[in-house]
């Protein structure tokens, strides 16, 4: 689900809610399922409204585009780094990749999904870490200096733009949308995990049906969007599992 943009996530949330409600017994007999669906619907409506506010605001649109530039730079860095994943064992590239990947996964992997201010601070920390004596040689080994500079410049441009408008509340919908997207993602994920956990119990036929409905819905959305909603490790854990986000 992390691969979905906000509008795609909204569509997915509505599909999940509609599909779940098609099993009247499962969604009415279990108060937790009912609460999850109510919460998902509520957050979806709020996110949709926040996005509408964003698109009606020129300042916020410019800020959102500046944030996308940061996110793209982070994505490029990650993808270029991953090209060294299969380097020959104990080679300088393999050692550098292992060190940088460990740092990334431990601290920075969720950055593009954080609120804007948290992402800004996180990128500052990322640049600081990668420029330190501990990691700078690894960055050079993998030839990532230019993309690291692009991350730094994109973040500085974002900070400058936000700083120019810090006296206004016009940026608030943008922050709201980021927080709401994160909240919606986590709620759908938790809902899927709850249903799938209960479906593994032999006396929960309703949850087994509902779990299959969610899995079928997810597969249908993946075919429509050509976007995988789970990564390979999650799929290996359970075919019907979370990332239902």
Q: How many residues are there in the chain?
A: 245
User: Encoding tokens for residue 237?
Assistant: 């854990």
**Sign of the four-CA dihedral 132, 135, 137, 141:** negative
Phi and psi, residue 206, nearest 5° = -60, -45
State the CB neighbour count (10 A cutoff) for residue 28: 12
Q: By CB neighbour count within 10 A (0-12 exposed, 13-18 middle, 19+ buried), where does 222 fall? A: middle
User: Does the pLDDT of residue 241 top 70, yes or no?
Assistant: no
User: Does the pLDDT of residue 229 top 60, yes or no?
Assistant: no
Question: 77, 50, 80: which is closest to 64 by C-alpha?
Answer: 50
Determine the 3-state secondary structure of 135 from DSSP.
coil
What CA–CA distance (Å, rounded) separates 202 from 204? 6
Task: Record the pTM.
Answer: 0.52
Residue keyed to tokens 């986000």: 245
Q: What is the pLDDT of residue 152?
A: 96
Position 228 confidence tier, pLDDT thresholds 50, 70, 90: low
Each residue's pLDDT tens digit, 112-141: 888 888 899 999 999 999 999 999 999 999
What CA–CA distance (Å, rounded) separates 47 from 7? 9
């Amino acid at each position: 689900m992390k691969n979905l943009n906000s509008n795609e996530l909204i569509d997915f949330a509505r599909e999940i809610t509609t599909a779940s409600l098609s099993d009247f017994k499962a969604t009415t007999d279990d108060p937790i399922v009912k609460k999850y669906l109510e919460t998902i619907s509520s957050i979806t409506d709020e996110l949709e409204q926040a996005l509408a506010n964003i698109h009606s605001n020129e300042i916020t649109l410019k800020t959102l585009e500046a944030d996308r530039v940061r996110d793209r730079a982070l994505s490029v860095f990650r993808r270029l780094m991953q090209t060294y994943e299969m380097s020959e064992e104990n080679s300088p590239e393999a050692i550098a990749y292992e060190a940088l990947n460990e740092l990334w996964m431990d601290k920075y992997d969720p950055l593009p999904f954080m609120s804007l201010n948290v992402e800004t601070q996180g990128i500052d920390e990322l640049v600081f870490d990668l420029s330190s004596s501990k990691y700078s040689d690894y960055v050079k080994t993998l030839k990532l200096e230019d993309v690291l500079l692009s991350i730094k410049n994109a973040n500085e441009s974002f900070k400058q733009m936000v700083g120019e408008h810090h006296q206004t509340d016009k940026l608030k919908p943008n922050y709201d949308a980021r927080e709401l997207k994160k909240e919606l993602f986590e709620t759908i994920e938790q809902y899927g995990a709850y249903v799938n956990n209960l479906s593994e119990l032999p006396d929960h036929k309703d949850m087994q049906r509902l779990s299959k409905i969610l899995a079928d819905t997810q597969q249908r959305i993946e075919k429509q969007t050509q976007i995988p909603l789970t990564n390979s490790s999650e799929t290996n854990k359970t075919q019907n599992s979370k990332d239902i986000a």
